[in-house]
Amino acid sequence: MSVDVVTQVEITRARADVASFASDPMNATTWYRNIHSVTWETSPPLAVGSRVRFRARFLGRTLEYTYQLVELVPTERLVMSMAAGPFPMETSYHWEDTARGTTMTLRNRGEPEGYLRMVEGVVAAAMQRANRADLARLKALLEAP
């Protein structure tokens, strides 16, 4: 069994603004509640092959993991794959124009390993809650006057 969590939000801002802010790893600590630090392992700017290390807290544990950017279509989609961390995971962002602004879709999918495999349903539910809260935070930040 695997984890596949998809969450969306509509943000009343231009797609370029939303994509630019959300795809900048240095903004992650601003809108992801569980991410506490971000460190570039390669030199910016973000490009296919870039590696970024994150330190986060999830399900009561501190996690350190490195994502490698595997796909980047500016203002359309970004796909990162875990290069090192607690379990193989892929995170993707997708942006689409709407009549009022932009829909951002956040998707996390992967195969939990170790202790996380035993509580896979809990992991998926916790990711869904966290992603909803994070996208709500992103929306509030980008729509603030």
104 burial via Cβ count (<10 Å: 0-12, 13-18, 19+)? buried
pTM (two decimals): 0.91
Q: What is the pLDDT of residues 78-87, one digit of tens each?
A: 999 998 877 7
Contact criterion met (CB below 8 Å) for 29 and 52: no
Q: How many domains does the chain have?
A: 1
> Are 112 and 123 in contact, with CB atoms under 8 Å apart?
yes
Q: What mean pLDDT value characterizes the chain? A: 92
pLDDT at residue 115 above 60?
Answer: no
CATH of the domain at 56: 3.30.530.20
CA atoms within 13 A on the CB side of 102: 25
Range of the domain at 68: 3-143
In three-state secondary structure terms, 26 is helix
